[in-house]
């Protein structure tokens, strides 16, 4: 690999980009517009997630009836009764959990018999998801209220509230929606700029005969591809810096920048540029370049957890999302920039690096200069 040749071709790409004022303008203005527009829209948008994890430690017919009633209004996911709940919440990153303690049914039966017993249900909620917490809280209180009314009617006038809903915060850390959203904006910015840019350039070069002429030069395909991907990395870093700057200054997003973050950005640029090279192998006209790019970017953009958490999607769509490179870019950026989860960030970084290497090699194999 001759770095001098790679550098010369990278410099040629940079000069072409710099001399095109319109291209340079949109490279800078598009991420600003993207962050301001979507940040303003989604910053105050209600989250419609209604998923509740339930740990039934009582394991009686009464507790199962309560779970069934909750399942009619919510998507209920069961947690084994013998696991440590706090540890499970932390490991799985759960946001809303209801714990039915042991003895729940016995206390209700004692109250129904005329006793003054009171039993508690424990509701653990993420304080940063208040737009979801309100509806969840209301549904649970409505169902437990119905159970209370059944006991009260059978014991009037010795009536009291039998079921007490005790609410506890899941974590002290508070994350706003924009903290979740900003890494997703970075991901789709890299995705769109690299794939569209690579397809457009390759298609244009093929139509103009430039690719054919490259066969008469000593430049190798791997060197030309590396220079192309390095240029895409440069534009990706530029747009990423702009997005972060706007997010911090305009919306007060708290981010942490570290070496893992940079590796993810570079790997993502290489991976998506490689995908663009592969697609451009089958695109022969400039007019179809945008359509071909959109066929890949738009499904990936909306399925990879860019705008909302993945657990809001049906199970089969979650499986599809985990096959998309953008999903690992988004998750890796969130874990390294926002949540500080080093192990999770390294796991996603490893996947992105492997994809980048694979797409680069495949791009080298499929790119033909003789056409």
Q: Which of 234, 194, 236 is nearest to 333 (CA)?
A: 236
For 59, list phi and psi in degrees, rounded to 5.
65, 30
| pLDDT score of 344 more than 90 | no
What 8-state DSSP symbol labels residue 304?
A: T
Q: What is the pLDDT of residues 273-298, one digit of tens each?
A: 889 888 888 776 666 667 777 778 87
CB 260 within 8 A of CB 218: no
**pLDDT value of position 41:** 44
Q: Which residues pair with 52 in a beta bridge?
A: 76
Q: What is the pLDDT of residues 83-98, one digit of tens each?
A: 888 888 877 778 789 9
Per-residue pLDDT band at 35 (split at 50, 70, 90): low
Average pLDDT over residues 151-158: 53
**Architecture of the domain defined by 51-169:** 3-Layer(aba) Sandwich (3.40)
* Helix (H), strand (E) at residue 77: strand 75-79
| pLDDT score of 127 more than 60 | yes
Domain boundaries, the chain: 3-43+176-366, 51-169
| pLDDT score of 171 more than 70 | no
| pLDDT score of 339 more than 90 | no
Q: What is the pLDDT of residues 65-120, one digit of tens each?
A: 888 888 888 888 899 988 888 888 877 778 789 999 888 888 777 766 555 567 88
- Euclidean distance between CA atoms 236 and 242, whole angstroms: 10
| pLDDT score of 162 more than 60 | yes
């Amino acid at each position: 690999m001759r770095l001098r040749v790679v550098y010369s071709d990278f410099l040629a790409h940079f000069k072409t980009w710099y001399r095109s004022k319109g291209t340079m303008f949109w490279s800078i203005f598009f991420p600003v517009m993207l962050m301001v527009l979507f940040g303003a829209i989604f910053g105050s948008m209600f989250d419609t997630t209604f998923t509740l994890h339930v740990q039934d430690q009582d394991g009686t017919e009464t507790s199962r009836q309560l779970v069934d009633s909750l399942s009619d209004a919510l998507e209920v996911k069961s947690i084994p009764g013998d696991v440590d709940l706090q540890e499970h919440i932390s490991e799985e990153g759960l946001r809303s959990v209801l714990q039915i303690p042991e003895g729940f049914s016995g206390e209700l039966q004692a109250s129904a018999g005329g006793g003054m017993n009171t039993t508690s249900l424990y509701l653990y909620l993420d304080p940063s998801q208040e737009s979801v917490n309100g509806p969840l809280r209301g549904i649970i209180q409505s169902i437990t209220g119905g159970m209370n009314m059944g006991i009260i009617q059978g014991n009037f006038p010795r009536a009291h509230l039998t079921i007490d809903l005790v609410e506890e915060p899941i974590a002290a850390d508070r994350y706003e929606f924009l903290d979740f959203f900003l890494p997703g904006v970075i991901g789709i910015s890299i995705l769109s700029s690299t794939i569209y840019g690579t397809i457009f350039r390759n298609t244009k070069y093929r139509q103009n005969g430039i690719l054919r002429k490259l066969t008469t030069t000593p430049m190798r395909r791997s060197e030309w591809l590396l220079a192309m991907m390095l240029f895409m990395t440069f534009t990706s870093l530029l747009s990423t810096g702009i997005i972060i700057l706007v997010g911090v200054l305009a919306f007060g997003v708290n981010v942490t920048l570290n070496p893992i973050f940079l590796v993810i950005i570079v790997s993502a640029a290489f991976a998506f540029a490689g995908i663009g090279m592969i697609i451009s192998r089958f695109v022969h006209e400039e007019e179809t370049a945008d359509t071909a790019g959109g066929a890949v970017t738009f499904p990936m953009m909306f399925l990879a957890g860019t705008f909302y958490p993945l657990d809001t999607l049906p199970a089969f769509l979650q499986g599809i999302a985990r096959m998309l490179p953008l999903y690992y870019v988004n998750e890796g950026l969130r874990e390294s920039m926002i949540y500080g989860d080093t192990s999770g960030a390294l796991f996603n970084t490893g996947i992105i690096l492997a994809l980048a290497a694979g797409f680069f090699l495949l791009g080298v194999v499929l790119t033909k200069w003789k056409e």
